[in-house]
Amino acid sequence: MRFITFLLVPPDGQFHPIEASLDAAGLERRAIHRFRLLDDGTVVSLYELQGDRETAQTVLDDHEAVVSASTTALGERVFAHTQFTPNALLERIYSIPQNHDLVLDMPMQYADRGALRVTAIGELETFREAMGAMTEEVRLRLLGTGDYVPTDHGLYAQLTERQRETLRAAVEAGYYEEPRQANYQDIADRLDISTGTVGEHLRKIESTVLKGVLPQR
């Protein structure tokens, strides 16, 4: 079983006109925690936004594509449970996991230019078929791929194989013990690589892990 992490970059920075309305109201799109295509052709989605809850509720209530919306605030984070009519682009994208037997590691997080960072889990051939079904309107940028490890909560799976090997060697050598029992040279000797490479790998590992565990504001 494999995972693939990639960016979906939409045309004009949005997958659906609702997103443009949220942007215009000063609401920042943060993540999509859940979505489901319903038999009546609508979509139910749980969005995470940042900004004013009342503004988000007003924007969603006034949008012609929205059937119903309910919002709740947690600090500056706004969660919007929304049922709406998808456009052709979003309907096609949302149908791909179901049609191609892929599991998404939620949430999908928004990045620059309205892109979504997505991690999908499945078989290699399934990934190829799914990518072939993607509309040409959306650009894909591959971020990483590897063996999926179910017990890592998504963080270990985001590391490259070389980074995982370095992390295992660092832990086994006692680099993360208190007090520290090893240095870059000890890890480098275990892996037969340079201390500079060890440092580069560990910095990237620590960046990935810390960003993954830091709560979103």
* 130 within some domain: no
Give me the sign of the Cα torsion angle 97, 100, 105, 110: negative
In a domain, 173, yes or no: yes
Last residue of a domain, one of 67, 86, 105: 86
Domain containing 31: what range? Answer: 17-86
Separation CA 73–CA 49 (nearest Å): 9
What is the reported pLDDT for 154?
Answer: 62
pLDDT reported for residue 45? 95
Per-residue model confidence as pLDDT tens for the chain (217 residues) = 888 899 999 988 999 999 999 999 999 999 999 999 999 999 999 999 999 999 999 999 999 999 999 999 988 889 999 999 999 999 999 999 888 888 898 889 999 889 999 999 988 888 888 888 877 788 888 888 888 766 545 677 678 888 989 999 999 999 988 888 999 999 999 999 999 999 999 999 888 877 766 554 4
Does residue 133 fall inside a structural domain? no
Residue 39 within any structural domain of the chain: yes
Contact criterion met (CB below 8 Å) for 56 and 21? no
Show contacts of 175-178: CB within 8 Å, 24+ apart: 175/202
Pick from 86, 103, 118: which residue ends a domain? 86
What is the per-residue pLDDT for 78? 94
Residue 108 within a domain: no
Number of domains in the chain: 2
Alpha-helical runs (H) found in 1-146? 17-24, 53-62, 88-99, 124-133
Q: What pLDDT sits at residue 217?
A: 44
Is residue 190, in this structure, part of any structural domain at all?
A: yes
**Residue 73 within any structural domain of the chain:** yes
Of 106, 103, 58, 49, nearest to 80 by C-alpha is: 49
End residue of a domain, out of 86, 117, 139: 86
- Total-model pTM: 0.68
The interaxial angle of helices 88-99 and 124-133, nearest 10 deg, is 160
CA 116 – CA 140 distance, rounded (Å): 10
| Per-residue confidence (pLDDT) for residue 113, from 0 to 100 | 87
Residue 189 maps to which CATH number?
A: 1.10.10
Q: How far apart (Å, rounded) are the C-alpha atoms in residues 185 and 193?
A: 9
Residue from 162, 164, 155, 165 nearest 208 by CA: 155
